[in-house]
């Protein structure tokens, strides 16, 4: 192993250790630790016990029965009760998490943190490994920056951690043509839990044709095999589950709801803010009939261009990395996503490194925009900003702007590079030999 590669590996390991340590500590010192996982645990447990996982009373009862660490502050208990009242997840997620729900609450907490941390760390290592021969130090710096900005991903226990990790692992398996069955299962699990995260990644492989399309269809078949028993399971005990889920989503997206992107939102602000374009358009006119179509229209143009380019391009590994770098920012912009979903930006790292090694002026744009995208959608910057501003309303409102703007700039840039360089081969041999 060369010194440059060893340096890069050590930096990835350091970032992984800091990610796990910070996430673990944060989950223990705040009363919101692992709240997203516990909500799903309670929902899955309710369904196992033949109760309604979308019923707020059932969720609260399950929480009180399996977790005994309610905060003494009545206001915090009320907030916790409100957070547990809505579980906007698909039945497939309940099925995937059912093995955890069979365990005691504290043991399930620990195991879920282990699974989440393991998937993200493995995904980070694999992305570093893609460019470990050509630019081991620079690619490690990107991975380090991603990991140290992902505290909330682990501390909240949201499925985004495992979903992003599984999606990235699947991409590596497909593009390296190794462990295909593992890649198919990983992407299928990612899709059935959060299709809004990995949906466009799956679509790329479908559009690319050849072996890539075969992998996409195999993934779809496995996802269907998971979804069918999940739907039959919940339909047996909760026949009207679809109407209940629709009502929950409507309440959460309504004005003042937890997932309302507008200025009156009950949960869009703060470190784990909403990053979709709706947050920008809602400041112009706070009506979903305006800001949703506006966001869809803006994102539809580059997405259509991306689809046409992917259908017409000759498939190659480097072209695939450019295609994924182009679509990931728009994945995060077009519909509801929060900062923890933005760890999907690790799929932009190989394209950024490839551009850097070309030694062309555009490499500086790649470097600056990728670093900006990772930073403004991460945790460290906003923890510092909100700490010094005392979480003032003006600072919370101002913080809503940089993330979607940075993602839009990143998406436009990589869309341009995909159109221009998407069919290109790797950089020159001279550049490739340079270990950065």
- The residues near 394 (Cβ < 8 Å, ≥ 6 apart) are none
247 against 86, higher pLDDT: 247
Is a pLDDT exceeding 60 seen at residue 426? no
The position carrying tokens 């010094």 is: 388
| Cβ contact 253:259 at 8 Å | yes
Whole-Å CA distances, 430 to 84, 138, 139, 404: 57, 17, 18, 37
297 burial (CB, 10 Å; 0-12 / 13-18 / 19+) is: exposed
pLDDT tens-digit map of 362-386 = 999 999 999 999 999 999 999 999 9
Cβ neighbours of 32 (radius 10 Å): 19
Is a pLDDT exceeding 50 seen at residue 259? yes
pLDDT tens-digit map of 184-195 = 999 999 999 999
* Per-residue pLDDT, 84: 73
Is a pLDDT exceeding 80 seen at residue 31? no
Is a pLDDT exceeding 70 seen at residue 341? yes
Is a pLDDT exceeding 80 seen at residue 294? yes
- pLDDT (average), residues 306-314: 94
Local confidence band at 1 (pLDDT 50, 70, 90 cut-offs): confident
DSSP structural state of residue 425:
-
The position carrying tokens 């992003």 is: 164
Is a pLDDT exceeding 50 seen at residue 434? no
Report the alpha-carbon distance of residue 107 to residue 109 in Å, rounded.
5
Is a pLDDT exceeding 70 seen at residue 417? yes
* Per-residue pLDDT, 85: 74
| pTM, entire model | 0.94
pLDDT tens-digit map of 209-218 = 999 999 999 9
State residue 270 phi and psi, 5-degree precision. Answer: 105, -170
């Amino acid at each position: 192993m060369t010194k440059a590669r060893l340096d890069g590996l050590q930096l990835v390991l350091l970032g992984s250790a800091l990610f796990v340590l910070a996430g673990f500590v944060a989950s223990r010192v705040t009363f919101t630790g692992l709240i997203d996982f516990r909500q799903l645990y309670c929902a899955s447990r309710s369904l196992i016990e033949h109760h309604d996982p979308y019923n707020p009373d059932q969720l609260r009862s399950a929480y009180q029965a399996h977790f005994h660490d309610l905060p003494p502050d009545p206001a915090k208990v009320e907030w916790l009760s409100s957070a547990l009242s809505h579980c906007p997840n698909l039945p497939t997620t309940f099925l995937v998490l059912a093995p955890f729900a069979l365990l005691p609450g504290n043991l399930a907490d620990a195991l879920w943190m282990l699974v989440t941390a393991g998937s993200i760390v493995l995904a980070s290592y694999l992305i570093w490994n893609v460019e470990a021969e050509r630019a081991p130090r620079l690619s490690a710096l990107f991975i380090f920056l991603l990991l140290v900005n992902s505290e909330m991903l682990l501390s909240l226990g949201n499925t985004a951690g495992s979903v992003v990790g599984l999606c990235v692992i699947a991409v590596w398996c497909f593009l390296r043509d190794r462990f295909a069955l593992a890649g198919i299962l990983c992407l299928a699990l990612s899709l059935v839990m959060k299709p809004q995260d990995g949906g466009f990644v799956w679509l790329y492989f479908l559009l690319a044709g050849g072996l890539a399309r075969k992998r996409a269809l195999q993934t779809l078949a496995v996802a269907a095999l998971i979804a069918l028993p999940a739907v039959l399971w919940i339909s047996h005990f909760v026949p009207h589950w679809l109407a209940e889920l629709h009502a929950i989503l409507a309440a959460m997206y309504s004005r003042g709801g937890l997932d309302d992107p507008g200025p009156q939102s009950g949960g869009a602000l703060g470190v784990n803010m909403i990053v979709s374009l709706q947050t920008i358009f809602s400041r112009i006119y706070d009506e979903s009939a305006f800001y949703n179509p506006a966001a869809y229209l803006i994102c539809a143009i580059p997405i259509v261009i991306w689809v046409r380019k992917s259908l017409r391009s000759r498939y190659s590994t480097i072209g695939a990395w450019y295609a994924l770098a182009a679509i990931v920012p728009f994945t995060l912009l077009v519909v509801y996503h929060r900062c923890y979903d933005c760890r999907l930006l690790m799929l932009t790292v190989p394209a950024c490194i490839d551009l850097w090694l070309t030694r062309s002026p555009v490499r500086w744009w790649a470097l600056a925009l990728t670093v900006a995208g990772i930073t403004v959608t991460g945790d460290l910057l906003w923890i510092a900003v909100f700490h010094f501003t005392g979480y003032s309303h003006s600072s919370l409102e101002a913080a809503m702007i940089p993330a979607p703007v940075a993602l839009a700039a990143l998406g436009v840039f990589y869309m341009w590079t995909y159109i221009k360089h998407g069919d290109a081969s790797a950089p020159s041999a001279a550049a490739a030999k340079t270990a950065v």
